[in-house]
Structures are given as structure tokens and as C-alpha cells.
Amino acid sequence: MMKGFDSLLVQSGFFHMTLGMLVMWVIAFVLIYLAIAKDFEPLLLLPIGFGILLANLPLSDLMQPGQGLLWRFYHHGIQWEIIPPLIFLGLGALTDFRPMLANPRLIFLGAAAQGGVYVTFFVARWAGLSLVQAASIGIIGGADGPTTIYLTSKLAPELLGSAAVAAYSYMALVPIIQPPIMKGLTTKAERVIRMKKGRKPSNLEVIMFPLATTIVVVLLVPPAAALISMFMLGNLFREAKVVDRLTKASQNELLNIVTIFLGLPVGATMNADTFLRPRAILIFLLGLVAFGVSTACGVLMAKGMNLVSSNKINPLIGAAGVSAVPMSARVVHKVGSEADKKNYLLMYAMGPNVAGVIGTVIAAGVFLTLLR
């Protein structure tokens, strides 16, 4: 009788707790707190935080390869590369490319803002990480969650949890990280520039765009096909306007469902043994560098384009080239309206913003081509 009670006690998790697990609990609770109380990317960080907690409860088989529930989510959803493309399907159905089509040269701002990806890749390699790890950390600078998860799960799965948490945390911090860089690199005279209205894209053009882009991007970087094809299919659903049911399903039900199965297993990859290393701090620092450099590159590109063009661009919108949609466009609008409150930059900023998403996908495709 006593013996049975003893073994029940010994086989309970309490005797198997480690200090590292307790530290991970704290991290999990901080993320859950930030998500609930501070509205800090709650759609992702709430399930990720809960996943971290689950991964650090000893003796559960949740992440046991071949049998655990979360392991199955992870294996079949992320390792099989199903969930990030499905997220992209939903994002495509939510994205309006008209601001970019109205003003196509803003695409180059979305390209420049990938600068942080490559600068950070280089710094990370120099700091002693392997090429594939450095690429996975660099892509954080694209500020695109699903792309970061997709690339990291293919190149450096051991970094998946940290890279995803860093990417989503900094996306939540975009309104704090970007404005000082934007203001530091521009003069007041540049911030009050009012931009000329772009043309109005016709309905036919908007429907043809996803088809043309799919062909061009898949031909150029075949490894980006999974992401870009789903992204453009979602957009075609949206713009064709004949499959309203599919558009709504992609935007709402499907996107919400896969978001649950994305966050939970990503968090569950962060157990104390793999996460609590100096490397994790390095990843967070490099992720911040990546965001900052990307912002700066976008702004500087806009200033460069102003040197050669008489149709001036407000350089603030360069900062929206990082693909945190639509947070960075909102930040641009706010900073712009501080300088001139009748300057409505929001829709102009959406141009580089959506171009930045495509830019980050191409950057990920280039990494996959070169490193795999």
C-alpha cells in the first residue's frame, strides 16, 4: 500500500522538475502575460507561450517523437511544410495589392528593406553560427512570421522556437523600434513630403497580378513556390470575386485554425535543454539588429530614389518595406502625421509593405537555393 503510493509520487512530474524548466515556465508566463495584458501579438504568442509551458512539464510525452500530440502537430504541420503555406493562403486573401500596383516603383523599397536579412546573416555567421543557422536568424529581419518559421524549420529546426518568438516579439515592438530610426535618418523637410497620387489599377489588372506574379516568382526561385503560390491563390480568390465562400474561408476559418496549430507546436520545441543556451540571447540581439537594419535600408533607399527622381517619395514609407503588415504602415502614418497632420501616408506605405512580403519570400527562396 505504502509502496504503491511511493512509486506514484516518484513517477509524478514533481520529482523530475529541473531549474531550467522553471526558467522556461517564467518565459512562458511572461509571453502569456504580454499577450493577454499588453496585446503583444496575442494570436501567436498566446499559443506559443502555452506550448512552451507544456514542453517543460516533465514526463509528459507531448513532444515524444512518434506518439506525442504536440509532436504530431509539429511533424505533420510544420515539418511537412503544410501550415506556413496555409497561413499564406489566408494572408493572400486578406491582402490588397492595389497600393503597390498604383505605385510600382515602391516595390524597390520592399526590396531594400530585405537588407537587414543579409547584413544579419553575415553578422551571425561572423559570430560563429553555421551558415544555415545564420540564414534562419537573418530572415527574422524580413519581419514575416510564417516565412521565418518555414525557412527555419527547413534549414535549422533546432532554432525554430527562438527564431519564431524573436520574430513575433519584434513585430509587436515595431511601433517602438522603428520611429527613432526613421526620425534619425530623415529631416523634417523630408517627413512632410506629400506624395503624388498613384493611378487606379483596373479590376482586370488586379485579377491578372496574382497569376503573373506566381509565374515569375516560381520560375525565378522555385524553392519559394510553396509560399508564393498559396499567397497568390488566396489573392486570386479575393480579387476574382466569384468564390466569396473560399475567400472568406481562407481569411477567417482556415487562417484561424492553422494559427492555433502553428503557435502551439512552435512553442513546444522550446524545452529547457535546447533553448537555455547563450545562443538564445545572441538570436534575440541579432533579430533586433535585423529589424533595425531593414528599417534603415528601406528609408535610405527612398532617399536614394529621391536623388534621381523628381516625383519625390516621402522617405518614411521606406520603413514600411519590412513586411510586418500592416503594423509598419501604421507606424509610418503616425510618424508622418506627427510632422504634418494632413499628410495621409497610410495607403502609400501599404505599397512597400505588401511588396516587402514578396521580398521576404524571395529572400527565403534564395537562401534555400544556395544553402540546401
Contact footprint for another protein (CB under 8 A): 100-101, 104-105, 107-108, 110-111, 114-115, 117-118, 121-122, 125-126, 131, 134-135, 197, 201-205, 207-209, 212-213, 216-217, 220-221, 241-242, 244-245, 326, 329-330, 333, 341-342, 344, 346-347, 350, 355, 358-359, 362-363, 365-367, 369-371
Q: Which is nearer to another protein, 24 or 163 (CB)?
A: 163
Q: Which is nearer to another protein, 32 or 135 (CB)?
A: 135
Q: Which is nearer to another protein, 134 or 288 (CB)?
A: 134
Q: Which is nearer to another protein, 116 or 161 (CB)?
A: 116
Q: Which amino acid would we find at residue 122? A: F
Q: Which is nearer to another protein, 244 or 253 (CB)?
A: 244
Q: How far is the CB of 15 from another protein (least distance, A)?
A: 46
Q: How far is the CB of 78 from another protein (least distance, A)?
A: 24
**Residue 68 grid coordinates:** 506525442
C-alpha span between 163 and 151 (Å, rounded): 10
Q: How far is the CB of 108 from another protein (least distance, A)?
A: 6
**Residue 365 grid coordinates:** 527562396
Q: Which is nearer to another protein, 24 or 101 (CB)?
A: 101
Which residue, among 105, 108, 101, 106, has the nearest Cα to 200 in the 3D structure?
101
Given a contact cutoff of 8 angstroms between Cβ atoms, the answer to whether 50 and 264 are in contact is: yes
- By CB neighbour count within 10 A (0-12 exposed, 13-18 middle, 19+ buried), where does 87 fall? buried
Instruction: Give CA angle at 62 (57, 67), nearest 5°.
Output: 150
Q: How far is the CB of 201 from another protein (least distance, A)?
A: 7
Q: Which is nearer to another protein, 32 or 93 (CB)?
A: 93
C-alpha span between 206 and 96 (Å, rounded): 9
Q: Which amino acid would we find at residue 160? A: L
Q: How far is the CB of 363 from another protein (least distance, A)?
A: 5
Q: How far is the CB of 110 from another protein (least distance, A)?
A: 7
Residue labelled with grid coordinates 516565412: 147
Where residue 59 falls (left for φ over 0; alpha for ψ -120 to 50; beta otherwise) is left
C-alpha span between 318 and 30 (Å, rounded): 32
Instruction: Give CA angle at 236 (230, 241), nearest 5°.
Output: 140
C-alpha span between 82 and 86 (Å, rounded): 6
Q: Which is nearer to another protein, 12 or 252 (CB)?
A: 252
**Residue 165 grid coordinates:** 518568438
Radius of gyration of the chain (CA): 22
Q: Which is nearer to another protein, 30 or 205 (CB)?
A: 205
Q: How far is the CB of 190 from another protein (least distance, A)?
A: 20
Q: How far is the CB of 22 from another protein (least distance, A)?
A: 38
Alpha helices in 221-277 (DSSP H): 225-240, 244-249, 255-268, 272-275
Q: How far is the CB of 198 from another protein (least distance, A)?
A: 10
C-alpha span between 48 and 331 (Å, rounded): 25
Give the SS3 label for residue 82: coil
| First CA to last CA distance, the chain | 58
Q: Which is nearer to another protein, 238 or 279 (CB)?
A: 238
The half-sphere exposure of 67 on its side-chain side, counting CA atoms within 13 A, is 3
Q: How far is the CB of 84 from another protein (least distance, A)?
A: 19
